[in-house]
Structure formats: C-alpha cells, structure tokens
Structure 1
C-alpha cells in the first residue's frame, strides 16, 4: 500500500461525506460551505491523477467564483434561515425517483465499462492536463456545451435577481 492509495481513499471518503452534507444540511449556507469542501477534496483527487491544471481550475473557478455566486444568490434571496420541511411532496418524490433512476443508469454503465486503463503514448502523456490541451479540447470539441453552460449560469443569475427584486 502506498501513500497515493491512502490519500485517494481519504479524499474519496471525505468527498462523499461532504457531498452528503450538501444534501442533508438544514441551512443553505451550511450546504454551500459543504459544497466548497467537496470541491477542494475533488481537487485533491485531481492532483493525485496528475491533472494539476484541472485541480487549479477546480479550486479557482468552482470553489472560488461559482460558490461566491451561489452564496450571493442565497444571501440575495434571504434563504439563510429557511425552515426545513420534511413533508413528502410530489416534487420531492419525483426528485428522489429521478435520483434512483440516475444511479441505476450509472451502475449499469459502470458495469459495462472496460476495466483496462487507457494507454497514452509519450506525446499524449506530455500534453495531458496542460492548459493548451484543455483549451484546445474546450474550444474545439466542447465549444457549444461550454457556451450553453455560461448562458445557463447567466440566466440563473438574472432569474435570482428578478425573484429577489419582487421581494424587496
């Protein structure tokens, strides 16, 4: 057993625990802070995978910028002391059923995957995880989803301001 395996186990368990806390926290602020810790533990896993650029982007973009946006929206909507209602409603039951269905699809997909790790040549290993490789992939192969996510975040921010404006 080596230190990388031990660190991976620690990061994986802490990621799962903090992700569970995101779901079960009664306060939206506590849930957002648990999400920040989840992002940091994921960044640790990326470092163990030798994807240092992705780890840095994870911390800067998600734990930094996106979480500041989430906290701003929580504060703007004044959700800090929102009561936690435990009544099962149709939307909660539908959400739970959707989560179980998604987990089932994920389990089937993981069961069908090939267990052999991908092999990279020397050129692929040298370029793996670099900013140039990530930028080329994002702006060539994934340009449309990248722009769609940026528009989705913009719409969410404008929507939160509109909802909060009607309360003020």
Structure 2
C-alpha cells in the first residue's frame, strides 16, 4: 500500500499542482492520496471522476491537519518517506526502502514544510538537490519504488482506454 500525503493545500493557489500530485500518484502506482490544508471539494471530485473514467481503485481523502495523519501511519507501521531536495538521493536508498515490505506514506510538501515533518520521517529523500517540482519528485520516487513496472499499468474497469499510437490519438470508450 502506497499513500501520498499532500501537505497544506491552499484554495485558489495550489489547485493545479495538487491535482497534478493526485494524477501522478495514481498514474505511477500509489493507492491513495490524502490532502491536507484547506478543503477543496473540486479536486476530490475531479480525481474521483478520473478514476471512474479511466479505472482502478485509487482513493482520495481529506484531513485538515497533516501531523495526525503522519503519526497514525507511523503507528500503523508505515514507512514514512518525505520528498525534499535536502534528503538522501533516491537512487542510493530506494532499494532498501522497496525491499523492506512495509506500506509507504510518501509526503509531498506544500508552501513550507515544518521541521517536525523532517524529524517524523523515516527517510528524507531527494531526487535532486536542486529546486524542482514536487510532482516531478513524486513521479521519480514512485518510478524507482515500482521498479518501472507502473509504466505498464492498465485498468480493465475504466470507461476509457488509450491505445498507444504514433500517428494519432486513439481512445476506446467502453459502455
């Protein structure tokens, strides 16, 4: 089980990036996203619509405060991975993380991540030590965790499915 926790969503300001965190989490193999910060019903409905149309059993939840979510996941035995440009390089530690068999909580930052998140995490993990997007960090981290297998994922229960094609867009619509 891989859950992604998006810290401190802000209405109006973070809508696009938080939506992209959710879509990337789903596409790259996570099972669930938990949004914290300001409640945004529109994002939750949008992601649920993607799951309805494209398939899978991906979930999205909202919890106002993120620290209780982190503490509960630690209590439940999850390995907590905080994505930050200040952490250990993903390629150096992901084999250890992947092979330990525990469920994962991957924390994706918001405007400013408090020290208590760094301290609570089992791993502070970077994909690069340069400024970058939390969406890119999430995609790369999940790609390493999934050993590249997520790129082959398809869902039979979706209403729509893309047929890879070099010449034009091709979508199968199922009823």
Smaller-chain TM-score range? under 0.3
Higher helix share: 1
Higher strand share: 2
Q: TM-score, normalised by structure 2?
A: 0.25
Structure with the larger RCO, 1 or 2 (CA within 8 Å, 6+ apart): 2
Q: TM-score, normalised by structure 1?
A: 0.26
